[in-house]
Amino acid sequence: MTLLAERTEAGTLRASSSGDKVRLLGWVQRRRDHGGVIFVDLRDRSGIVQVVFNPDMPEEAFVRAERLRTEYVVSVSGSIRKRPEGAENSNIATGEIEVVAETLDILNGAKTPPFYIQDNVDVDESVRLKYRYLDLRRPEMQAVFKTRHQITQIMRNYFDSRGFYEIETPILTKSTPEGARDYLVPSRVHPGEFYALPQSPQIFKQLLMVSGMEKYFQIARCFRDEDLRADRQPEFTQLDVEMSFVEVEDILPLMEEMMARIFAETTGKTVQTPFPRLTFNEAWERYGSDKPDTRFGMELVDVADEVVNSGFKVFTDILAKGGRVKGICAKGCATMPRRELDGLVNFVNTYGAKGLAYIVLAEEGVKSPIAKFFTEEELSSLISRMRGETGDILFFVADKDKVVGDALGHLRLELAKRLNLIQEGTLNFLWVTEFPLLEYDEEEKRYVAIHHPFTSPMDEDLPLLDTDPGKARAKAYDLILNGVELGGGSIRIHRREVQEKMFTLLGLSPEDAISKFGFLLEGFEYGTPPHGGIAFGLDRLVMLVAGRENIRDVIAFPKTQSATCLLTQAPSAVVGKQLKELSIKTHIIAASK
């Protein structure tokens, strides 16, 4: 029998198997040498068990046990026995028993690791990333990747049982305009030409609908060469789905059930379906966000009609110029120190707000730098509109619509964090629907697609494309969980004349459209079914299921914020021969100061 064939997992051992002979394979978590008896905590993927080495065992094995050090890889045979009375350890699952060693083989030694292989390790993340293989040995990291595996398995089973095909699409593909910056791969065979890594399988999955695959999914790697954030990596994974002959009402329930299943089978939590829905417009007005966190209130309140006739010129001027004045009511914040208030002013500055007005409803009366601009009646009317009570602070931002929403939306989240308003464990799913189709880009002096250029307008808004394209809404939807955008999708355009109109609006001439998307447009002419789909950020989903705050924690070998890999030192220079084969000469243009 092979070692592996006779092996028992350490973490599974219980008192019920006392007396059994076992073979353990794993790593030395810790050694406690009492001179006579030696205790070794042996760790494998399943957990930890205490192994006892006694001087009365064969001398050869005991001598080896004295040589053991942290992270040595060992094979131990022995028998399970209940621990002596009083020596049980309730902190570990196997704490009622121990394994009395009979033989010990050191399969491999190990250098002392730079940090403890245990949970909640207090070590700089860059050290963890450099020694990622050790970091991943830690039980909490093992648990994350078990969860990640379970989630993808559930997805595969779910779609398989509903008749979806899992189909792979190219990694080496064509650079297309619109969207994020592409990662490029030089072609050796075609000097001076480049492949692009896919930002998503978008075009291919639509072509698969033209191909008559009808139901497709893929757990697909995507690449975007943009700056990183705590929830953004340059390469990430999407659950990508596309279906033919669908409408919005086919897709959303399908995804709701999948989410419910994922949470039920991984965390045991029940997810209520169907999920609530908000239109984009409502989300923006009430939460200042297209991905509102609905786990707490503190909604934005439009106070334009309360202040429009006041003597406060800052507000009235902005309203006269077509801007907005909105506020939020922070419950119980009246005792917030002045310094913290000033900090919040700086906070909203980040989002373009030039100021943050506030009214403190203190026990001793209203305190506010702006109160003097309002009459007694105006002030009390404003306070009651905001549902302000003694002990609260009212915050106001006046600016362009975009700035007001951004600033107050983020302030709302920041205050919720500081005031601890979010109950742990809550799962608030939310669909945001009826996104605008287009957005006018001041810099490029043209419309750009909010979702992507293949998103279908809502039927009733089709005429708007000719009259007021910025007002047209799309058959697009995003799934939000606890204020995190998990994914989004749309029903696609499948009629050529609509697609052409869309390209025109995006400033693409018919010639441009053909040179950039010709293969797709041509494909669409051969009998394209109505189709639509959705894509989810798998990494973000795993983050939320596993309760992690950082996307790097759910990716086995992630990149740093500057898109490097501390483990492999990628990216790196290559030898001249490689460049020559690619017909590439590098010429580093110094960053301008």
Q: How far is the CB of 329 from RNA (least distance, A)?
A: 23
Give the C-alpha distances (Å, rounded to integers) separating 143 from 46, 157, 486.
10, 21, 21
Q: Is the peptide bond before 571 cis (omega within 30 degrees of 0)?
A: yes
Site for RNA in 404-443 (CB under 7 A): 406, 410
Under rule CB under 7 A, residue 239 binds RNA: no
Of the candidates 159, 223, 263, 351, which one interacts with RNA according to CB under 7 A? 351
Under rule CB under 7 A, residue 267 binds RNA: no
Per CB under 7 A, the segment of 6-14, 32-40, 245-253, 279-287 that binds RNA is: 32-40
Under rule CB under 7 A, residue 577 binds RNA: no
Of the candidates 23, 30, 324, 492, which one interacts with RNA according to CB under 7 A? 30
Count of CB atoms within 10 A of residue 18's CB? 13
Under rule CB under 7 A, residue 183 binds RNA: no
User: H/E/C letters for each residue in 422-473?
Assistant: CCCCCCCEEEEECCECEEEECCCCEEEECCCCCECECHHHCCHHHHCHHHCE
Q: Can you tell me whether residue 52 is helix, strand or coil?
A: strand
Under rule CB under 7 A, residue 86 binds RNA: yes
Q: Kindly write out the interface string for residues 524-553 of this chain, putting x where it contacts RNA by CB under 7 A and - elsewhere.
A: --------------------------x-x-
Closest to 484 in 3D by CA, of 547, 557, 418, 439: 547
Under rule CB under 7 A, residue 200 binds RNA: yes
Q: Which residues of 414-438 are buried (b: 16+ CB within 10 A; e: fewer)?
A: ebbeeeebbeeeebbbbbbbbbbbb
Is-contact 175 182, C-beta < 8 A? yes
Give the C-alpha distances (Å, rounded to integers) separating 217 from 204, 519, 527, 533.
11, 22, 21, 9
238 has which bridge partners? 220, 537
Is-contact 421 296, C-beta < 8 A? yes
Q: How far is the CB of 385 from RNA (least distance, A)?
A: 29
Q: How far is the CB of 419 from RNA (least distance, A)?
A: 19
Of the candidates 51, 449, 480, 555, which one interacts with RNA according to CB under 7 A? 449
Rounded to 5 degrees, what angle do the CA atoms 488, 491, 494 make? 140
Q: Who's near 8: CB < 8 A, 6+ residues apart? A: 22, 23, 24
Q: How far is the CB of 265 from RNA (least distance, A)?
A: 28
Query: Using CA atoms, how far apart are residues 462 and 449, in angstroms rounded to an integer?
Result: 15
Q: How far is the CB of 227 from RNA (least distance, A)?
A: 3
Q: How far is the CB of 321 from RNA (least distance, A)?
A: 21
Under rule CB under 7 A, residue 235 binds RNA: no
Under rule CB under 7 A, residue 106 binds RNA: no
Under rule CB under 7 A, residue 336 binds RNA: no
Longest dimension (CA), the chain: 94
Under rule CB under 7 A, residue 227 binds RNA: yes
Is-contact 46 11, C-beta < 8 A? yes
Of the candidates 105, 119, 168, 226, which one interacts with RNA according to CB under 7 A? 226
Under rule CB under 7 A, residue 196 binds RNA: no
Of the candidates 21, 45, 63, 87, which one interacts with RNA according to CB under 7 A? 87
Under rule CB under 7 A, residue 91 binds RNA: yes
Of the candidates 12, 17, 79, 89, which one interacts with RNA according to CB under 7 A? 89
Handedness of CA 366, 367, 368, 371 (dihedral sign): positive
Measured from the CB atom, is 323 or 388 closer to RNA? Answer: 323
Closest to 413 in 3D by CA, of 354, 484, 358, 353: 484
Q: Kindly write out the interface string for residues 117-136 of this chain, putting x where it contacts RNA by CB under 7 A and - elsewhere.
A: -----xxxxxx---------
Query: Using CA atoms, how far apart are residues 584 and 192, in angstroms rounded to an integer?
Result: 8
Is-contact 247 529, C-beta < 8 A? no
Residue 322 in tokens: 């077509």
Measured from the CB atom, is 98 or 392 closer to RNA? Answer: 98
Measured from the CB atom, is 198 or 388 closer to RNA? Answer: 198
Under rule CB under 7 A, residue 95 binds RNA: yes
Under rule CB under 7 A, residue 311 binds RNA: no
Q: How far is the CB of 496 from RNA (least distance, A)?
A: 19
Query: Using CA atoms, how far apart are residues 105 and 103, in angstroms rounded to an integer?
Result: 7
Measured from the CB atom, is 134 or 360 closer to RNA? Answer: 134
Measured from the CB atom, is 56 or 59 closer to RNA? Answer: 56
Per CB under 7 A, the segment of 4-12, 272-280, 323-331, 451-459 that binds RNA is: 451-459
Under rule CB under 7 A, residue 69 binds RNA: yes
Query: Using CA atoms, how far apart are residues 398 and 66, in angstroms rounded to an integer?
Result: 72
Measured from the CB atom, is 384 or 550 closer to RNA? Answer: 550
Per CB under 7 A, the segment of 12-20, 221-229, 250-258, 304-312 that binds RNA is: 221-229
3-state helix, strand, coil in the chain (%, to 5): 35, 25, 40
Binding-site size, RNA (CB under 7 A): 68
Q: Which residues sit at the interface with RNA, rule CB under 7 A?
A: 30, 32-37, 39, 41, 50, 52, 54-56, 69-70, 83-84, 86-89, 91-92, 95, 98, 112, 114-115, 122-127, 178-181, 199-200, 202, 224, 226-232, 350-351, 406, 410, 448-453, 550, 552, 560-562, 564, 566, 591
